[in-house]
Amino acid sequence: MAVTDFLNKIKKEWEVLKGEESKDKFFYNENTYPDETTARREFTRTKQKLFDVNSWSNLTGVNSTFQLYDKHGNKSAASKIQVGDFMQIILPATPIENWVTAIEVVEEEDAAQFVVRPCPKPQAQKDAADGDEVKHFFTDDATSTFRVLREGTTIMGMEIGRDEKPNNTGEQAGDRPILNTLISEGGWAGFQALQWNKITRYYVHLEEVPEDRKEE
């Protein structure tokens, strides 16, 4: 099978991200297998883990809660996120909802990714107190790319955060400017590396959901 433009693109970007001049947030884990046949088989499972965002909540230890919602804003049990879907993220020990929407989903034989950006709470989940402000501690200029890649016998998992600016001014911030500043520059700044390290380890099978939590 010929290498696609998408695969070429992300391999080039991967080289940039490894360079010292990259200013984006970048979290990465990899796992190498004894042969390519095994790596190919395990990469199928890697892609399943990437797209099944509800399963992320079942990881043990300090971990956020992730819940998928469909494009209409209804809670979804789907095992694969789609463009237009929403994801609700609740950080540990807080009741605060943060929302993102999927703006790109790509899956190929040896690479897959999806990209999300902060957004308002979906219409179906709004109540009288909710306006149109972005329900996230970053502005909607920010994006997060969740990506997996196989090269030979190595499987790689990564999270790439771009343009992560506190959502603390203007209409986007609504009634959360101070709260968003505290989260983005305080709690999340310290927790971010732990969270995305856990998720990317999960992608490459260095961490698994315990059997007794898989049905939750």
* Closest alpha carbon to 59 in 194, 161, 183: 194
pTM, two decimals, is 0.81
CA pair distance 33, 136, nearest whole angstrom: 38
Q: Residue 111: how many CB atoms within 10 A of its CB?
A: 24
Give the confidence band of 5 by pLDDT, cuts at 50, 70, 90. Answer: confident
CATH of the domain at 196: 3.30.530
pLDDT at 190 over 60: no
Q: Residue 2: which pLDDT band, with cuts at 50, 70 and 90? A: very low
> How many domains does one find in the chain?
1
> Does 150 map to a domain?
yes
Distance CA 180, CA 184 (A): 6
The answer to whether residue 21 is domain-embedded is yes
Look at residue 171 in the predicted model and tell me its pLDDT: 55
Longest dimension (CA), the chain: 57
Distance CA 139, CA 142 (A): 6
Q: Indicate whether 1 belongs to any domain.
A: no
Distance CA 200, CA 25 (A): 14
Flag whether 212 is in a domain: no
Q: What would the pLDDT profile of 201-212 be if each residue is shown by its tens digit?
A: 999 999 998 887
- pLDDT tens for residues 44-93? 999 999 999 999 999 998 788 999 999 999 999 999 999 999 999 998 87
Beta strand spans in 54-192 (E): 65-69, 86-90, 97-107, 111-118, 143-151, 154-162
Q: What is the pLDDT of residue 16?
A: 59
Whole-angstrom distance, CA of residue 75 vs CA of residue 65: 14
Higher pLDDT, residue 190 or 72: 72
Has residue 214 been placed in a domain? no
Specify the DSSP element, H or E, that contains 17.
Answer: helix 5-18
Please check whether residue 185 lies inside any domain of the structure: yes
